[in-house]
Amino acid sequence: MDSLLVYGSYGYTGRLIAREAVSRGGTPVLAGRDERALTRQATDLGVEKRVFDLEGDVAANIEAFDAVLNCAGPFVKTAEPLVDACLETGTDYLDITGEFQVFERLRHRDEAAKNAGVTLLPGVGFEVVPSDCLAAFLHERVPSASTLTLGVKGNGPLSRGTARTFVDQLGTSGVVRRNDRLLEVPLAFDTREVDFGDGPEHTVTVPWPDVVTAAHSTGIPSIEVYAAVPSVAPHGMAAVDSLGWLLERRPVKDALERVVDATVDGPSERELATDTATVWGQVIDEATGERASARVRTPNPYALTTTAAVSAATRLLGESGETRDRVPRGFQTPASALGSEFLLALPGTERELLTAPNTSNEPEATALESDD
C-alpha cells in the first residue's frame, strides 16, 4: 500500500485504520495538520508522514500518491478540499463519511471525476458499506423494486469525532427519498417496528446517507432509513427538531462540542472486539408485490469501518492482481465500486436472507451466508 495517503490518521478511527493497513504489510503515508501527533504515530508504526492543512496547497502534498483515504471529519469541512486536489492530480479519493450532504455534493463531481480518470469513493466505513451492499444484494433479487427500507441497530459507544459530527449536524432536518427526489422531513418523522433478530424493535427515520448512496447503487426511487431507538427517543428527537433554530447557533454547538471532548472517548479494545451491529433491509415492487428482505450482522461499527476502509483502499490500488481495472471511475458507492459481496469478505460479517421472490412474504430464516 505504498501509494496510499491516510489523511486525519491520528484521530480515533484514523489510528485504527493506519494500524490495520500497516498490520497487513502496507506502508501508508500518514497525514494531517498536527505535526507532534503525526511524528509520534509515524515513529510508532515505522512509516512516513506529511504535515499539511486543507487551507494551503493540498494538490502539491498529494500528487505523489495513487489514492487518498480521508479519515478527518466532519467531512463537510474536509472532503471538498481533498477532492478538488484529487481531481487536479489524478488521485483516487476514499473517505469514511456518513454525512449524506457530503455524498450528495460528491455525486455532483461525477463527470469531473470521470474526465480526470479518478474514482471518488466516499463512505467506506460502517456507514455505508453494510447497508449499501445489502441494498444491492436485495435489488439483485427484485430488480424492479420501487421501494427500499433499511433499519440499522448498532451497540456500543461513539468516538469523539462521531459525536462531534453529530453535534455539527444538529439543527439540520431528516431526509428521505421519494420518487427519486430527496425530501427534507422532520427528524424521526416516521416510526416502524423492525426485527433485527430478537423480535420487533422500535425504530425511527434517520438522515442516513443511503437515501443518496442506495439510489446510486440500485436506482430504486423511494428509500427510507430507520434506526433502533428506545421508545421514548422519538419525543426527544422531536424536541431536538423543534429546537433546530437554537441548535444551529455556533455558541450552543461550541458548548456541546466541549461536553463531547470532555466526556466521549470511543470504544475500548474490548468493545471493538466484542460489540456487534445489525442492518436489516427490504425491497418491494409496489406494482407486483414482489419483495425480498435480509439482515446482515457485522462487528462493532468502528471495527467494521477499519477493515472495510483498508480493504476498499487495497481494491482501489489493485494490489490483489487485476482488480484496479474493474473499479469504475467517477462517483461510486461501496457496492457500485466493489460489488454487493464486498461486505462478506470482511471478517465477522454474515448475511441472512429472510424473504425472497417465490418464497412466503412472512420473514423466514434461511441459510446463513458468510465467508467466515
The residues binding ligand NAP (CB under 6 A) are 8, 10-14, 32-34, 53-54, 71-75, 77-78, 96, 98, 125-127, 159-162, 164-165, 266, 301-302, 305
Q: CB of residue 52 vs ligand NAP: minimum separation in angstroms?
A: 9
Q: What are phi and psi of 191, to 5 degrees?
A: -130, 160
Alpha helix stretches (DSSP H) within the chain: 12-23, 35-45, 58-62, 75-89, 100-107, 110-116, 129-141, 160-169, 210-218, 233-242, 244-247, 250-263, 269-274, 301-317, 334-338
* CA–CA gap between residue 242 and residue 247 (Å, rounded): 10
Q: CB of residue 72 vs ligand NAP: minimum separation in angstroms?
A: 3
Cβ closest to ligand NAP, residue 19 vs residue 114? 19
Return the bridge partners of 281, or none: 150, 294
Q: CB of residue 167 vs ligand NAP: minimum separation in angstroms?
A: 11
Q: What would the grid cell of residue 361 be?
A: 412474504
Q: CB of residue 261 vs ligand NAP: minimum separation in angstroms?
A: 9
Q: CB of residue 347 vs ligand NAP: minimum separation in angstroms?
A: 16
Cβ closest to ligand NAP, residue 33 vs residue 329? 33
Cβ closest to ligand NAP, residue 158 vs residue 354? 158
Look at residue 350 and give its three-state secondary structure: strand
Q: CB of residue 30 vs ligand NAP: minimum separation in angstroms?
A: 10
Cβ closest to ligand NAP, residue 149 vs residue 165? 165
Q: CB of residue 144 vs ligand NAP: minimum separation in angstroms?
A: 30
Cβ closest to ligand NAP, residue 73 vs residue 291? 73
Cβ closest to ligand NAP, residue 92 vs residue 127? 127
Name the residue with cell 433554530. Answer: 245
Return the bridge partners of 297, or none: 278, 350
Q: What is the DSSP string of 280-333?
A: EEEEE-TTT--EEEEEEEEE-HHHHHHHHHHHHHHHHHTTTSSGGGGSPSEE--
Q: CB of residue 318 vs ligand NAP: minimum separation in angstroms?
A: 23
Contact 315, 309 (CB under 8 A): no
CA 75, 81, 85: angle at the middle one, nearest 5? 130
Helices 301-317 and 129-141: angle between axes, nearest 10 degrees: 70
Q: What is the DSSP string of 209-236?
A: THHHHHHHHH--SEEEEEEE--TTHHHH
* CA–CA gap between residue 3 and residue 22 (Å, rounded): 13
Cβ closest to ligand NAP, residue 220 vs residue 277? 277
Cβ closest to ligand NAP, residue 12 vs residue 290? 12
